[in-house]
Amino acid sequence: MRRLVVDVRPGEYTIARLPADASVPPGLLDGPGLVCVTRTPAELSIVCPSEHAPRTDEVQPGWRLLTVRGPLEFTLTGIMAALSGELAAAGVTLFALSTYDTDHLLVKATDLGRAVQALRNSGHEVTKP
């Protein structure tokens, strides 16, 4: 696996689940930071900065965002597998997502130090704000 640069993004993130037929909360896409909205037949899943998180019973606050510095070529393989394997070996729970340009990992804020150390021990450069 090649050496990657992973940036720890500022702020806390929340992962929320709404009913499949729910509307995207107004203004959600207007703020800064990563926002991911995914609809399946079973749910509307939202990842966003905690200050913009929708009010719902099914919500997981307290995540920190790590972004692989990109853009990454679509022909690259194994990036997410390597990073998730390194974090799993360190006992770090993660929530992964990809965008057109790169890959993102969310780890619990309480696990951030362990996650950064695991990635550095695997030879990756990790920058913190």
Q: What pLDDT sits at residue 2?
A: 78
Residue in the block written with tokens 């340009």: 101
C-alpha 25/C-alpha 52 separation (Å) is 9
Q: How confident is the model at residue 74 (pLDDT cuts 50, 70, 90)?
A: confident
Task: Tell me what the pLDDT averaged over the chain comes to.
Answer: 95
Closest CA relative to residue 98, chosen from 24, 38, 16, 51: 38
Total of domains in the chain: 1
Kindly report the CATH number assigned to the domain that includes residue 89.
Answer: 3.30.2130.10
Per-residue pLDDT for 1 more than 70? Answer: no
35-57: average pLDDT? 97
In this prediction the pTM is: 0.94
Task: State which residues form the domain around 68.
Answer: 5-127
Range list of β-strands (E), 69-111: 94-98, 103-108
Strand partners, 38: 45
